[in-house]
Structure 1
Amino acid sequence: MTLERTSPPRFVPGRLIITAGVDTLIHEGQLNPLPYLRRHVRADWGDLCESDRRRNDAALVSGERLLSSYQVAPDLTLWIITEADRSVTTLLLPSEY
């Protein structure tokens, strides 16, 4: 038996908020946001350019806002934003920003 190793969470996301668009996709069975949220709190920033990844890595230390972007399907991108004070994390579609 092989145990899957995952890195521990790097921060506490605070209160979770999902937008209307994400809520609709969840209820339609088109999106399970939990794997993406797990990646986000483990500092796997998804489909960001290298400079945005470095900005997020620095923000873990400096306490700035964190943004992850995940290409869920060819026509579906999920953004996850954690506020600088880590009180709230929002799951949203780019069109809802």
Structure 2
Amino acid sequence: MKNGNRTTSKSRQELGQIVATQGVLATCSLDLMLSSLARHVQGDWGDCSDKAANERALKNGGRILSAYAIDPAKPCKGYGENCLWIITEADRSVTPCFCPMNIKLIYSHLVG
């Protein structure tokens, strides 16, 4: 649907506060972040392995996870170096955007 110069589409969920890690800001372009957020809010879960769980979460109030390729020319299985995760928390208060690989590196550094 067109609204002036903007294209609007129906949102399937509330996102709350949108936040991004330093790692994702260094890795992903703003265009990729915005297009991925648009897909997420419209119910296009990307390379998420359990899309049915997201559909249930929309109805029952659970956490919603989407996974998108950072570089579309490379494979993305929903995890790994070429992956952007967007997760809307169950209470819909916050939607963090991050690269799961960065979280793994941070965790391994903290643990030992």
Normalising by the residue count of structure 2, what TM-score does the alignment of the two structures yield?
A: 0.71
Where does the alignment leave 5 or more consecutive residues of structure 2 unmatched?
75-80, 104-112
Residues 25, 31 of structure 1: 8 Å contact kept: no
**CA offset at residue 7 of structure 1?**
4.7
**CA offset at residue 31 of structure 1?**
6.0
**CA offset at residue 12 of structure 1?**
1.3
Residues 21-79 of structure 1: per-residue CA shift (max 9 Å, x gap): 012135xx586300000000111000123xx1000000001000000000121252100
The equivalent residue for 2:27 is 25
Distance 1:13 1:67 in 2: 12
Give the count of matched residue pairs: 90
The equivalent residue for 1:8 is 10
Q: Which runs of 4+ in 1 moved over 6 A?
A: none
Residues 17, 89 of structure 1: 8 Å contact kept: yes
Residues 45, 67 of structure 2: 8 Å contact kept: yes
Task: Tell me which of the two structures has the higher relative contact order, counting C-alpha pairs closer than 8 angstroms and 6 or more residues apart.
Answer: 1
Compare CA radii of gyration and give the structure with the larger one.
2
Distance 2:68 2:9 in 1: 18
The equivalent residue for 2:109 is none
DSSP 3-state at the match of 2:91: coil
Distance 1:22 1:72 in 2: 10
Residues 16, 89 of structure 1: 8 Å contact kept: yes
Question: What CA RMSD, in Å, does the superposition of the two structures yield over aligned residues?
Answer: 2.1
**CA offset at residue 6 of structure 1?**
7.2
5-14 or 34-43, larger mean C-alpha shift: 5-14
**What aligned pairs does 1:2-81 form with structure 2 within 5 A after superposition?**
7-26=9-28, 29=29, 32-49=32-49, 52-73=50-71, 74=74, 76-81=82-87
Distance 2:23 2:35 in 1: 18
